[in-house]
Structure 1
């Protein structure tokens, strides 16, 4: 393998694209996919509406081969750097329709959307089409419609007609041209993955193995770590900053795996939030409840577990969940690995124990069926919104129905995710009675000193936090 390769290779529909990305080229490694597409007059369907992944007007679909199957992932191209495409297939709205015998023929998804008058001004329609195309190709059901469209805004059409179209699309029994050439695409993507080399430009490195990533991190500890860059990309698109040199872990195979063992789950740091949602929510409803409203499907398709944990955000949706489940963070450098609890890992606001030559490699979540888990996210919008506050609770009862162990974890109540220690201490050993939970709810309002910001007042947050504990009590038949 060459030491440096400043070219990425990917399929643009059927066409193999070999794109040079460095300071001497037309495009850099932090050029977004949307910027690149709109530099070509043949690919103007994807629009920029918000430049932060919130409106869905720029939605495209990335296709990956996984275990001899094609996975279609709707993503927002406005906050996706070009190297993310390395070894994958990119589909845009222009690839869905085709010309047959001189006649213009729409894809069935487009036909159905038009049938239900699912477009008025049309600005956001290409993004909606691509989200529905992903929904159709992944053979999702009516229950998945809200998840599939949660990242697409439409200010003029009205969602009812779009939803009606989505219901019919979910029932389509039609073999499109992508299905007809599926075997060929699988072969192409397998060959592409086999042949690709690690991308290495003047200020952006994307290794293919954990060993290589750890070596690079030791040699260049100043590198900024990213996974899907759904957060970091905003520094460029919204704040117009020149980003520091980047180490992109999105193509490291060992970090993209989820493995279930007898007594624990092992989650790679580059596992996406959507991958996590699909794999784990059948076992743990509290994960489903939180991950169903984590960003949008487009964001979950690129945002990574390691990125959410490593950000050490006080309102990171995953962090209270992991605290309630007593998860361990596995931190590695070139020579060794060490486990840490989240209480040890997060030191202060946006500050962790991660050393310059280290990275998060995986998260270990114990499996213990004796625990009762519960979670809730409070936000102004149901989906695609930042938490006002969130909570994840865990209780283990003794044989005589007393509280033998309890974890009350909150996000949004302090500079870091925190335990409600006074309430935990008070409830430990108590019977499951409303009076005890009422007293512990009052303790929560006394323990925390949250801030007032655009999402809530400090008084409002304190009341919400106490009410979530009350809701927890009334949600279970202990």
Structure 2
């Protein structure tokens, strides 16, 4: 319990946005901000106010990668990100590089640009700057020229001319290229409020005070969902509270028995520790957005939007995740399946925020699997998502936790499916009974991604396939996309 009583004394506040752009300092003081809202997308600001036209708008929703720029961190990391859905206020204290910033001081192209040119990796050229920036981030990462890794690095960039072969050849050439370390952005310790509408607290106490004082403000984590209001819809939110600088919400703690991840930790940071604890997540997380999306997108944001087809909630349900919700009144914990009350409705009170989520590791004799069915393999929202954790003892299922997405108005724990599995032998009849329980358990949503009938059939078939995964672990039963 925080037990906060009385008024909060805020730390020194700043009211100007400072960051580095292509190695040069940028400061947008209140006078400069008078004509630029902190809710402006980074893409619009780059093009309209800095004349940097290399960063393009293709989809305005973070799918095509034409707007790709690179976020440069103090620890030396360079990560591709979508400028079209990032808000200008989010960039405060960071460092960004655009395709124009690759040019060498003597005016010559960067080696990554030369590799793309020498491979003839361009056709109409519209998407090329985005590919170049993804290639630059990939080259900086030191990753090997493995085809699967290159595919993952390029999954967030679309070429409408279908010229991928030479692009892959260029990516192969630049893999592991020695690239000078980045110059980090300015150090920002003080909390910030821009134009009275974009709040960026640096402590949990300040965050909770802002949450209580501005109950109508939207909580902004990575903006991969809320950013669409400013990009695609052109109706940015009136007021936001940005969560990315609050230490408690950006911490990761891996204990012997539990893993705790702050709600504002981006997927890119969370993935290594998640994969170490749950290796079966490797293929699943690689299909959760793109690298550009995972650079900013957060697990807490995926939970807070309460979408019935969000990728992570079914996984977190199967892993017995508990949420820590905090406000000035104190803190409480809640099983994640109790957090979702209805379509886009949650148990989060108007003065609360999700601080963190925690889940136990896998115990001996436990198995864990997860599936995502979608129309496309990459960059697509799930039609059906499912996750299963079973404890097996002497050929019997001692315990089971099953979560589904896309099967109801909310992500749901499959209690009838679990009942059909628990205490039963690992045998085809057991999983047939679990598959039959799907029709009694769910009334799936029906939309253009999949009919209700398809979703029921697919969910039942996933449970039948689960038997083969357990009974014959060496059998190749992976499904990429249906």
Provide TM-score, normalisation by structure 2: 0.91
Give the 3 Å change call, closer, same or farther, for CA 344–197 of structure 1 in structure 2: closer
* Deviation by residue 1:5-59 (Cα, 9 ceiling, x = unmatched): 3211111122111113689612101001101100146411000111111110010
- Which of 100, 117, 121 aligns to 2:120? It is 117
Alpha-carbon distance in 2 for matches of 1:98, 1:28: 32
- Which of 371, 375, 384 aligns to 1:380? It is 375
How far 1:201 sits from its partner (Å)? Answer: 2.6
How far 1:4 sits from its partner (Å)? Answer: 4.4
Q: How does 1:300-311 map to 2 (within 5 A)?
A: 300-311=294-305
Contact kept, 8 Å, 2:222 with 2:244, in 1: the verdict is yes
* Residue of structure 2 in register with 1:155 after alignment: 160
How far 1:457 sits from its partner (Å)? Answer: 1.2
How far 1:63 sits from its partner (Å)? Answer: 0.9
Give the 3 Å change call, closer, same or farther, for CA 22–242 of structure 1 in structure 2: farther
Displacement over 4 Å in runs of 4+: 1-4, 21-24, 194-197
Contact kept, 8 Å, 2:123 with 2:163, in 1: the verdict is no
Alpha-carbon distance in 1 for matches of 2:16, 2:446: 47
SS of the equivalent of 1:442 reads helix
Q: Which runs of 5+ in 1 are unaligned?
A: none
Give the 3 Å change call, closer, same or farther, for CA 238–21 of structure 1 in structure 2: farther
Contact kept, 8 Å, 1:119 with 1:157, in 2: the verdict is no
Q: How does 1:41-440 map to 2 (within 5 A)?
A: 42-65=51-74, 69-100=75-106, 104-141=107-144, 142=146, 143-172=148-177, 174=178, 176=179, 178-179=180-181, 182=182, 185-186=183-184, 189=185, 192-194=186-188, 197-370=191-364, 371-398=366-393, 400-440=394-434
Contact kept, 8 Å, 1:10 with 1:89, in 2: the verdict is yes
Contact kept, 8 Å, 2:322 with 2:334, in 1: the verdict is yes
How far 1:84 sits from its partner (Å)? Answer: 1.3
Contact kept, 8 Å, 2:318 with 2:413, in 1: the verdict is no
* Residue of structure 2 in register with 1:39 after alignment: 48
How far 1:244 sits from its partner (Å)? Answer: 2.8
Alpha-carbon distance in 2 for matches of 1:416, 1:195: 38
Give the 3 Å change call, closer, same or farther, for CA 459–98 of structure 1 in structure 2: same
429-438 vs 230-239, greater mean Cα deviation: 230-239
Alpha-carbon distance in 1 for matches of 2:67, 2:152: 17
How far 1:3 sits from its partner (Å)? Answer: 5.4
How far 1:241 sits from its partner (Å)? Answer: 2.1
Equivalenced residues, count: 460
* Residue of structure 1 in register with 2:7 after alignment: none
Alpha-carbon distance in 2 for matches of 1:22, 1:290: 46
SS of the equivalent of 1:135 reads helix
Q: Which runs of 5+ in 2 are unaligned?
A: 1-9, 473-482
Alpha-carbon distance in 2 for matches of 1:406, 1:291: 22
Provide TM-score, normalisation by structure 1: 0.92
197-206 vs 219-228, greater mean Cα deviation: 197-206
SS of the equivalent of 1:161 reads helix
238-247 vs 255-264, greater mean Cα deviation: 238-247
381-390 vs 206-215, greater mean Cα deviation: 206-215
* Deviation by residue 1:166-192 (Cα, 9 ceiling, x = unmatched): 1111143x3x4x33xx5xx25xx4xx2
